[in-house]
Amino acid sequence: MNIDLHCHSRASDGLLSPAALVGLAAARGVDVLALTDHDDLSGLEEAARAADEHGIRLINGVEISSVWRDELSVHVVGLGVSTDDVELCGGLERIRHSRAARAERMADSLAKAGIPGALEGALTYAGNASLLSRTHFARFLSDNGYARDTRSVFNHFLVPGKPGYVEHQWALLEDAVKWIRSSGGTAVLAHPGRYGLPRATMRELLGEFRDMGGEAVEVLSGSHSPEQFREFAMLAKEFGLTASRGSDFHGPGESRTELGALPLMPPGVTPVWQSW
């Protein structure tokens, strides 16, 4: 079985429509796909119809932007969430609302660095201000010659200490986990290798995440090196967390890892899908 439990459509910062994304997943041999747009469930209905047509299984997913200990931005993937849970939908709605105001502050910061028109520019990629993410700004900056491609944008812009980065108050990590659980879903710590945490702090995060009700951690992530696959497999075992597998695909040519292209789960860990 080829299982990919993390990817994005145009309902957040992906390049493909939900239906096109599911079609591509099917063509690449994915059997089970979770669509996990940032803070948004609106692509799931179209994705479910396409999954029916292609004969693959779609898991209703989401990737919630949250903050841990008041300072570290952490992403939590929810798998198997219900799309009409009041708590989850209300929480996501508040995050999306805050994205619009954040985008204005990001554009102000870029304007001060001599880059005008970034808000309008990013909007042409997002379509809707409540979806605006750093990815849309990265597309604007790269297409206008400020960097070679969207990935290299993040070496010079949109990250702490660089133009276009602003502090932001996301959801609390414990609330993100609570909303996912209240809607019947499983909370998965996304791409832990991306947070740049020292080993001891990473262990504190994993312990606290588990105590909040988190159940799984992405061991196989498109953001991880093979060495990190092994590292997080060991940590998952140690902390009694199950293990997830997700490419974090955003679109052809823009992502490091293609849909469904990750290796098999290392032996000895319990996959998050074992109980499905």
Coil, helix or strand at residue 59? strand
**Residue whose tokens read 């497999």:** 233
Pick one of 65, 142, 183, 257: the residue that binds ligand AMP (CB under 6 A).
65
Which C-beta is closer to ligand AMP: that of 188 or that of 269?
Answer: 188
Binding partner of 142, given Mn ion, ligand AMP, none, CB within 5-8 angstroms per partner class: none
Yes or no: say if 10 and 35 are a contact pair by the CB < 8 Å rule: no
Identify the residue among 67, 248, 265, 269 touching Mn ion (CB under 5 A). Answer: 248
Residue of 17, 37, 56, 49 whose CA lies nearest to 248: 37
Chain positions 154 to 213 lying near ligand AMP, rule: CB under 6 A, are 154
**Residue 151's binding partner out of ligand AMP, Mn ion, none, with CB under 5 to 8 Å set by partner kind:** ligand AMP
- Residue 250 as a binder of ligand AMP (CB under 6 A): the answer is yes
Binding mask 128-147 for ligand AMP (x = CB under 6 A): -----xxx------------
CB of 241 to Mn ion, least distance (A): 18
DSSP 8-class letter at 249: B
- State whether residue 87 is helix, strand or coil: helix
Where does this chain touch Mn ion (CB under 5 A) — which range of 6-14, 41-49, 54-62, 234-242?
6-14
- For residues 85 and 254, which CB has a smaller minimum distance to ligand AMP in the complex? 254
**Binding flag, residue 75, Mn ion (CB under 5 A):** yes
List of residues contacting ligand AMP (CB under 6 A):
13, 38, 65, 133-135, 151, 154, 250
